[in-house]
Amino acid sequence: MLSTRRPYLIVPKLIEQPTWGGDYIVKYKNWLDKSDLKNIKIGQSYELFDQSNLLINIYDSSDIRIKPEIIYLSTTYTKNQNKDNTLEKINLSDLVMSNPKQILGKKILEKFLKMPILIKFTQALGNSFQTHIKPNVFHHCWRPKAESWYYFEDGLLSFGIKKGINLQVYQKTCQAIDTRMRQLSSKILSGDMALSDAQDEAKKFIHQLNPWQFVNIHKVDKNILIDLSMGGLHHSWEDDLKNYPKGNILYEIQQDMPDSVSTIRCFDQGKFKEDGNIRELHIADYFKFIDLDIEHNKMEKAICQRSDNNLLSTKYYTLDILEISDRIKDNTGNSFCHLFVREGEININTDGGNVHLSKGHSCFLPKNVGEYEIKSTDPKQSVILKTYIKI
């Protein structure tokens, strides 16, 4: 039977994004020297979701002391470089099913029925203009999705609509762009236009109409946390390769909710898929659900202020930051915990086993672990992002 008293090393799922990914994530994890990752643009690394892969030591279930750099997941397969072949991969969903109450926590299981959180480490350029409906809004198609962004580097985003804009003109602008994008997509698919020519044409058309004139553009400093949990707010990542050549480097925490039922888009930055198709927009719904309260559209309202070790607390998830020079005792309380090493290197010791984590890697702690110790093995300081549900 799988143990509920030990930490589990997480094998992150890397997502290739040829048009907007890069090498930041694999560098951060110290994986750039892996031959099959050198020339691949990684846009996202899934650090926690209900199908996360976990590692256990099949010969000694009480102890794993191994740097996760030697086990990594490329875009297409898992590669095990452990010469002794002592590690076995299991799925988080199987671990949860083995003992749901002791893995997730009784109250979390009753409320969410499964692992409810998705954590992504992202390197991204421009993203679509989008919003989510508010938590107290009920709709036959759309469901709310809490979402928060912790910036690992300085970045650029659009947040909120500008005060005093003509909303009808904004909507007509989005509709005109969508109409032109459909025309260009049709030409690509019929073979009448090359993809590169369509991209150039779309760029010219979009910049003439300038949809960015309707939204607030903000620079975001490193280590700032933006919370979108209240819903109804315009948000998007933006491109500025001159000032931000890495794009936007984000640690995203969100409810694990499919985009198809939660993300309402009105403008997709003129992007075509590789085959010439375009992503579906829901312009009318974006303008139906957008929050027009000017106070809510101010980004300072969405910037989270640190209080002791806490960066963010919502009813969907909590994010703490732990800065450790030597060692500390902590407790899982009533919830599972996810620990991600932002800086440094640590050992996590529990009654049921131990794991070693280096920078850019993470582990999953079942609720039943209870008290555990985090020991920094870095000569300076280790910094950990701890995610859990306060319930």
Bridge partners (DSSP) of residue 256 are none
Rounded Cα distance, 294 and 186, in Å: 39
The answer to whether the beta carbons of residues 351 and 63 sit under 8 Å apart is: no
Rounded Cα distance, 45 and 42, in Å: 8
Residue 30 lies in a domain: yes
Give me the number of domains the chain comprises.
Answer: 2
Q: Kindly state the helix (H) or strand (E) to which residue 236 belongs, with its residue range.
A: strand 235-237
Residue 213 lies in a domain: yes
Examine the domain organization and report whether 138 and 282 are in the same domain. yes
Residue 311 lies in a domain: no
pLDDT tens for residues 79-99?
Answer: 444 445 567 789 999 999 999
Which residue reads 């976990």 in tokens?
Answer: 54
Reported as a pLDDT band with limits 50, 70 and 90, residue 36 is confident
Rounded Cα distance, 184 and 193, in Å: 8
Q: Is 247 exposed, middle or buried (0-12, 13-18, 19+ CB in 10 A)?
A: buried
Q: Which two tokens stand for residue 303?
A: 């910037």
Examine the domain organization and report whether 195 and 209 are in the same domain. yes
DSSP 8-state symbol, 69: G
Last residue of a domain, one of 273, 301, 329: 301
Rounded Cα distance, 183 and 318, in Å: 45
Q: What angle do CA 211, 213, 219 make, to 5 degrees?
A: 105
> Within a 13 Å sphere around the CA of 298, how many CA atoms are in the beta-carbon half?
4
Q: Which residues contact 68 (CB under 8 A, 6 or more apart)?
A: 9, 11, 55, 356, 357, 358, 361
Q: What angle do CA 267, 271, 272 make, to 5 degrees?
A: 130
Rounded Cα distance, 34 and 44, in Å: 17
* Domain range for 146: 117-301
Which residue reads 């029925």 in tokens?
Answer: 113
Examine the domain organization and report whether 163 and 250 are in the same domain. yes
The answer to whether the beta carbons of residues 234 and 112 sit under 8 Å apart is: no
Examine the domain organization and report whether 112 and 126 are in the same domain. no
pLDDT tens for residues 102-153?
Answer: 999 999 999 998 999 999 999 998 899 999 999 988 899 999 999 999 999 9
Q: What is the pLDDT of residue 87?
A: 72
- For the segment 241-257, the average pLDDT, to the nearest whole number, is 95
The answer to whether the beta carbons of residues 380 and 344 sit under 8 Å apart is: yes
Residue 208 lies in a domain: yes
- For the segment 8-13, the average pLDDT, to the nearest whole number, is 92
Rounded Cα distance, 353 and 41, in Å: 35
Q: What is the pLDDT of residue 20?
A: 85
Rounded Cα distance, 234 and 228, in Å: 9
CATH number at residue 56: 2.60.120.10
Q: Which two tokens stand for residue 183?
A: 């025309």
pLDDT tens for residues 40-67?
Answer: 899 999 999 999 999 876 544 445 555 5
Is residue 18 pLDDT above 90, yes or no?
no
Examine the domain organization and report whether 204 and 280 are in the same domain. yes
- For the segment 325-339, the average pLDDT, to the nearest whole number, is 96
Residue 310 lies in a domain: no
Last residue of a domain, one of 249, 271, 301: 301
Residue 38 lies in a domain: yes
Residue 1 lies in a domain: no
Q: Do you know the residue count of the chain?
A: 391
